[in-house]
Structure 1
Amino acid sequence: MDINELNRVDTRQLPRSLQMLIECIGVEQAYRLTRLYGGRPKYIPKNPQRTALAKALPPDALAALIKRFAGLALEIPKVDHFLRQLRNQKIQEESSNGCSRSTLADKYGLSLRQIGNIRRTANG
């Protein structure tokens, strides 16, 4: 996923734990963490050399994470939070371009009711 897609994510609709990660290290690095460790706790050490996170994050992001969360085991949210929001945006766009509910349901593997609910959230 590229940064332009990630910038479309409305962070206010994400879980608070994910919002805190984004505030600390930015949306791109938070997305990377959710892809690597989502759904599992990840210990944040005080020393950056003592973690596999040094290979996953740039030094400035790792330093910010350690400064804020050193010594804690963070429950890293699942990447689904990002993916679902982006999927729903695509469904809303395609719907506004005239795509039918049944076509969208088939394309995204969702029920007609789910497509209707997603479409309604765009209008509400």
Structure 2
Amino acid sequence: MNNVKTFLGISTAVGLMLTLMAGQAWSRPAMSVLTVNTKDRAAYLQWVQGSGEAIAESIDAAVGGICVPSAGFYGPGELYYWHLFGDHATALGSEQYNPTVMKELNKLKADRVVSRGDAYSVVSCGTR
């Protein structure tokens, strides 16, 4: 009986610690990045200038933008469309294809392929 109580106590403590650690990770700032391939970079950049703010607001992003790499890309025509969020709950919980996003996507005339989507987090070593 003592072994069972000890096991349950340790299991509860470990479970509580893991829950608190997961909560810390979930509340850290987050970044989402879409890797977009297009032959018409200028048209895509112009679309982002006109529609980016409305899209960012509709998904509760703090800020958004586009990166045009001059080196380090996997293929020609690659762009990185990104948004920063206050936390992972907002980043992963937002409705990505809400009516505003769909309306703005309909304005985009450049042919493109979204080859990947990534979610990033801030990593810290803790307090010293």
TM range (shorter): under 0.3
TM-score by length of 1: 0.24
- Return the structure number with greater relative CO, CA threshold 8 A, min gap 6: 2
Whichever structure has more strand as a proportion of its residues is 2
Please state which structure has a larger fraction of its residues in helix: 1
Q: Which has the larger radius of gyration?
A: 2
| TM-score of the aligned structures, taking structure 2 as reference length | 0.23
